Structures are given as C-alpha cells and as structure tokens.
Amino acid sequence: MDKNRIRILSSICDINIFSYAAMSNHLHIVVKLGSEQVDEWTPGKTLERWTSLYKDPRLIQRLMQDDVLGKAERE
C-alpha cells in the first residue's frame, strides 16, 4: 500500500493517520478514528463516500438517484 492510497482512504473515511510502518507482508497504522463531523453525516453522505471507494451495487445506485424502491428493496 502506498502513501497516496493511505492518504485517500483517510480523507474519505475521516481517519487521522499518526504514523505507519510498511513491513514486507503487513502494515501497521496508528490512527484516530473520526471526528464530530462524522456524527453529522447523512446516510446519503456515507453512501457517497463509500461508493467513491467501491463499485456500488445497482440497488445503491437507484437509492442515490432517488428512484422509488419497493418494500423488500427498502428493507
């Protein structure tokens, strides 16, 4: 894992990185998780951040586009 990837992940997930050590087969990271701002994230904001890292399933795409979802889809 390179420095840029760690920097991107920490900004998207609101994690403060204090130090890290890259070993040959694993990584040590000292972090402080979140801030008060995370408590204010809406479900939409959380999905926006999550989908910037991972390909979102079709259902999440529909949710973010305010499509009408059926009862089973909402549950």
- Domain ranges for the chain: 1-35, 41-75
Instruction: Say if CB 21 and CB 28 are below 8 A apart.
Output: yes
- Rounded mean pLDDT of 58-72? 78
Residue 1 pLDDT exceeds 80: no
Residue 45 pLDDT exceeds 70: yes
Q: Which amino acid is at 74?
A: R
Residue 4 pLDDT exceeds 70: yes
Instruction: Say if CB 27 and CB 21 are below 8 A apart.
Output: yes
Residue 30 pLDDT exceeds 90: yes
